[in-house]
Amino acid sequence: MPEPVLQIDDLSISFALGGADVDVVRGLSVSVEKGRTLAVVGESGSGKTITGRSIMRLLPPAASARGSIRVAGREMLTADERALRRIRGADVAMVFQDSLSALSPYLSIGAQIVQAVRLHDSSVSRRAALARAVEMLDRVGIPNPADSARRYPHEFSGGMRQRAVIAMALVNRPALLIADEPTTALDVTVQAQILALLRGLQDEYGMAMLLISHDFGVVASAADDVLVLYAGREAEYGTLRDIFERPAHPYTAGLRAATPRLDAEGERARLRAIPGVPTSLRDAGAGCAFAPRCAFAARLDGRCETELPAPTVRGARTDGLHRAACHLDRLPDLQEAAR
Ligand SMILES: Nc1ncnc2c1ncn2[C@@H]1O[C@H](COP(=O)(O)OP(=O)(O)O)[C@@H](O)[C@H]1O
Ligand code: SF4
Ligand SMILES: [Mg+2]
């Protein structure tokens, strides 16, 4: 079997805070194959962005990562700057949530894409790079691409800017795209268009994609596989169907119940939040970080508060790829929980 495009093994990320190292991500292991989309979903602060940035080796100076991250077979955590420059762009590129801060206000959109091409391969002439930029702008659905390439970011709408950022990320045809909340700042109609665009380009290029989102609705419409993060750890991992149809972790079940049904007729169903405050790994004790919010913790005689649940295999599939980190063998009905 070919090596996955992305292979993460036992990844932990910590910040040096006030003289002590504090983990914000712990023990993540996951892989993404060519042409597949892995969604990383979780509440704000659960460690999604920092995980995405660690794959690019774009961590803040106070942060450090341990474990292994292999992109197209190459170890990112020990690669030197020269190797990183080569890997970024050709093997992996990232689209950030905020398209305005991802672009320089002082350069035309075309010039920025030309820069991305030539940073990766300095043998490409400016002219050839511009031709590729215009072609890519066309490909992401920007009207009058040759003319648009001469425009500046502030002359674009939010949706068009995000398209330009996607063009910049994809111009070197990376094997892996990391998209961090790529549609969060956009209205619902544009969100759907951008997600459809990403899916289309992914199919065409055979890219692997890591789609980061706090929005289960976005995940439902775009993912093949799903990693649910809670307080920096894997809560559950499985295919989209595992996660939606047979969740095994109470947090996943709560997220699903809180997701407005996008197919609901008429009015959009109201979003219900999961009660309680998200815990960070920093505040988590020895047990399960979800215990203070979990409707089932009381049934397990204190085990949840004292013993960390390790991810264990669930369900009937034989590949063992549906995992949940919970002491319950079987998730009771949510209605049952309310009784
Ligand atoms: N520059 C930083 N310094 C200290 N802690 C940080 C920094 N950036 C992120 N963190 C911490 O790392 C955790 C994960 O953050 P992040 O990956 O941004 O979460 P998410 O993207 O899921 O909202 C949070 O607890 C956050 O407080
Ligand atoms: S281990 Fe306990 S607290 Fe954690 S999710 Fe499972 S039942 Fe709830
Ligand atoms: Mg984030």
Q: Which of 79-93, 168-182, 285-299, 311-325 has the lowest mean pLDDT?
A: 311-325
- Per-residue pLDDT for 258 more than 80? no
β-strand pairing of 37-41 with 176-180: unpaired
Question: Residue 150 domain-assigned?
Answer: no
Which stretches does DSSP call E strand in 72-207? 74-75, 92-95, 176-180
294 lines ligand 2 (CB under 6 A): yes
Residue to mutate, 15, 53, 178, ligand 1, most ligand atoms under 8 Å from C-beta: 15
Question: Residue 117 domain-assigned?
Answer: no
Question: Residue 138 domain-assigned?
Answer: no
Question: Residue 221 domain-assigned?
Answer: yes
Closest residue (by CA) to atom 5 of ligand 1? 15
Residue to mutate, 28, 41, 50, ligand 1, most ligand atoms under 8 Å from C-beta: 50
Ligand located closest to 297 CA: 2
Prediction pTM value = 0.92
Q: How many domains does the chain have?
A: 1
Atom of ligand 2 nearest to the CA of 235: 5
Locate tokens 């962005």: which residue? 49
H or E element in which residue 337 lies: helix 334-338
Tokens of 209: 């994609």
Residue of higher predicted confidence among 90 and 95: 95
Amino acid identity of residue 290, one-letter, is: F
Could you list the residue range(s) of the whole structural domain that residue 76 is in? 6-99+174-338
User: What is the pLDDT confidence band of residue 271, given thresholds at 50, 70 and 90?
Assistant: very low
- Per-residue pLDDT for 312 more than 60? yes
Question: Residue 156 domain-assigned?
Answer: no
- Per-residue pLDDT for 281 more than 70? no
Atom of ligand 2 nearest to the CA of 309: 1
Reported as a single tens digit per residue, the pLDDT across 197-238 is: 999 999 999 999 999 999 888 999 899 999 999 999 999 999
Residue to mutate, 255, 293, 296, ligand 2, most ligand atoms under 8 Å from C-beta: 296
Ligand located closest to 47 CA: 1
Radius of gyration from C-alpha coordinates of the chain: 21
Handedness of CA 179, 323, 314, 327 (dihedral sign): negative
Question: Residue 288 domain-assigned?
Answer: yes
The CATH number assigned to the domain holding 241 equals 3.40.50.300
Closest residue (by CA) to atom 1 of ligand 1? 60
Ligand located closest to 254 CA: 2
Question: Residue 163 domain-assigned?
Answer: no
**142, 164 contact by CB (below 8 A):** yes
Question: Residue 143 domain-assigned?
Answer: no
Which stretches does DSSP call E strand in 18-126? 20-32, 37-41, 63-71, 74-75, 92-95
Distance 280 CA to ligand 1 centre (A): 9
